[in-house]
Amino acid sequence: MLKNIKSETDRPEVRELLGYADVAGREDEEELINRYKADDRLHLYGYEDDGLIVGLLGFERKDEGVIHLHHIAVLPENRLKGYGRGMLLQLIKDLNPQQITVDTDEEGAQFFRNLSFTVHGSEDTVTGLEYFHCIYDMEEEE
């Protein structure tokens, strides 16, 4: 079940998931938690299975109908079981966005590519690292 976990950030698995979700390694878990708590524009949802949060989605609702994913993660022992895909599908069902966007690394880009996101590669002008901008348009899937 996908649920709002913004008030459950003290749970050990949420902290662990946020550590996995920050692929750029720019923020530690405490900074991420504080950012989600302080910013009403940011949402943090988790997927709970048998009382354990096994995956999370951190996102922001942008313009009308656009969701930008900031973080997505699944506990390592629960990967390749469909939780990531399931969380995204549930988010689409619950919020009915017109578009989902996410910026990620190469591994993340492959995950989103497998879910029919359009993937564009680019280079960060500050760090020189490659990143990928992924877009999913609902209208194209109808």
Residue 2 is classified by DSSP as E
Q: pTM score, two decimals?
A: 0.85
CATH of domain 2-141: 3.40.630.30
Short-list 111, 35, 37, CA closest to 73: 111
Tell me the average pLDDT across 12-25.
80
User: CA-based Rg of the chain, rounded to a whole angstrom?
Assistant: 15
What sections of the chain are H helices per DSSP?
A: 12-21, 29-38, 83-95, 106-114, 138-141
Q: What's the pLDDT score for residue 142?
A: 46
Read off the pLDDT band of 123 (50, 70, 90): confident
The label of the residue with tokens 């997505």 reads 72
Helix (H) or strand (E) holding 58: strand 52-61
62-79 exposure pattern, b = at least 16 Cβ within 10 A, e = fewer: eeeeebbbbbbbbbeeee
Strands 52-61 and 130-137: unpaired
- Enumerate the domain spans of the chain: 2-141
Average pLDDT, the chain: 88
